Structure 1
Amino acid sequence: MVKNALQAQLLKAGLVDNKKAKKLSKQAQHEQRTGQSNEAELKAKIEQDKQEKISKDQALNQEKQKVLDEKALKASIIQMIAQHKIKDTDGDVVYQFIDGTIKKIYLNQQIYNALVSGSLVIAKESDHYAFLPKALAERINEKMTGFIISTNAEKNEQVTDEEDPYAAYVIPDDLMW
């Protein structure tokens, strides 16, 4: 009846009686059975923790990758602005636009006319302003907003009322007083 050699020795020595040995063996069997079920629960918990860690790491990696992609996009837009900006724009004609506050820049007449007509736009280039063709500005705006400051294309497409008696007399945007 005794399954353990130690129990047999304790019985022979008279330290433990038969009832106590049976009770201990049953208790050991019970612990062994419940210990196995605890092992299964423990394995399931470890697997669940491992899956949670993997999903958390994936979320962190996606967030880091998103930040890196945004930085790369910003750098490519800044590079596009630097490569395609129109140089030699200094002149005597004043052009005013809004970038938080009203800004005033001096341009030559050709750049001024292009800005007023809407074929050129103003883009922010770090601390300065750059003048870009409208098509490039639209591509930049599709990728990321915040770089293009002023476009006159929307302002030139005014909707006129049919009953307006002065509809034939369009007031130009560049009217100087």
Structure 2
Amino acid sequence: MVKNALQAQLLKAGLVDNKKAKKLSKQAVHEQRTGVSKDAEVKAKIEQDKQQKMARDQALEQEKKAALQEKELKAAIMQMINQHKIRDTDGDSVYQFIDGTIKKVYINQQIYNALVAGSLVIAKENEAYAFLPKALAERINQKMEGFILVNNSQSNADTTDEEDPYAAYVIPDDLMW
């Protein structure tokens, strides 16, 4: 009842008995059927797959956390803009600025003068525009860029060219045509 030559040789040498030989042959057949003989390779592959899955899960978790933090920061900035915006701005003066296209807002003269002087800024509030104090605009820009559209407190001298013959003639921003 010996299945291969190696087992027959072991039986003749007296190293194993019939009972042990049957057990070994059954074990070999079982290993071939179930694939357990490659146990170390399979375990290594499983462990590698686990490590890769954990790395993917951690990267996905980091992305979710970053997106959530960005969303929370945007909500906090929108709340700051809503709380500190100047409410009574309706008037007859027209102020034009660029937000993708040229936008036009009608404001009172006091707000207009403050915008031109640079003590107020224009911020984007969802689909509308809000007028904010300059100090608040600086805090918002430190947290996240992109909300402040118009800030006239920044000097235009940086953009002038030294070789420009008309550099000495400054054109005021509040010039009415």
TM range (shorter): 0.7 to 0.9
Deviation at 1:96, TM superposition (A): 0.6
Matches within 5 A, 1:77-96: 77-96=77-96
Q: In structure 1, the residue corresponding to 2:154 is in which secondary structure?
A: helix
Structure 2's unaligned 5+ residue stretches are 9-17
Q: Percent identity?
A: 63
Give the drift of 1:21: 8.4
Instruction: Please state how far the C-alpha of 1:30 moved relative to its aligned partner.
Output: 9.7
Tell me if 1:147 matches 2:147. Answer: yes
- Cα separation, partners in 2 of 1:74 and 1:166, compared to 1, 3 Å: closer
Superposed displacement of residue 88, structure 1 = 0.5
1:117-128 aligned at under 5 Å gives the runs 117-128=117-128
Q: CA deviation at 1:38?
A: 2.0
- 1:46 to 2:46 alignment: yes
Secondary structure (helix, strand or coil) at the match of 1:154 reads: coil
For 1:19 and 1:58, the matched residues in 2 are separated by 51
Structure 1: gaps spanning 5 or more residues:
1-15
Q: Give the SS at the match of 2:173.
A: coil
Aligned to 1:68: 68
CA offset digits 1:137-159 (Å, max 9, x no partner): 12212222221111112354454
Under a length normalisation based on structure 2, what TM-score does the superposition of the two structures give? 0.75
CA RMSD of aligned residues (A): 3.2
In the other structure, the counterpart of 2:7 is 22
Give the match for residue 131 of structure 1: 131
Moved more, 69-78 or 26-35: 26-35
User: For residues 166 and 20 of structure 1, what CA distance do their matches in structure 2 show?
Assistant: 103
Q: Aligned partner of 1:147: which letter?
A: F
Q: Which amino acid aligns with 1:41?
A: E
Query: Which whole-Å CA distance do the structure 1 matches of 2:173 and 2:7 have between them?
Result: 104
Aligned twin of 1:113: 113
**In structure 2, what is the Cα distance between the partners aligned to 1:45 and 1:151?**
59
> Cα gap change, 1:37/1:91 in structure 2, threshold over 3 Å: closer, same or farther?
same
**Which SS does the other structure have where 1:22 is aligned?**
helix
Mapped contact 2:3–2:25 kept (Cα < 8 A):
no
Map of 1:174 onto structure 2: 174
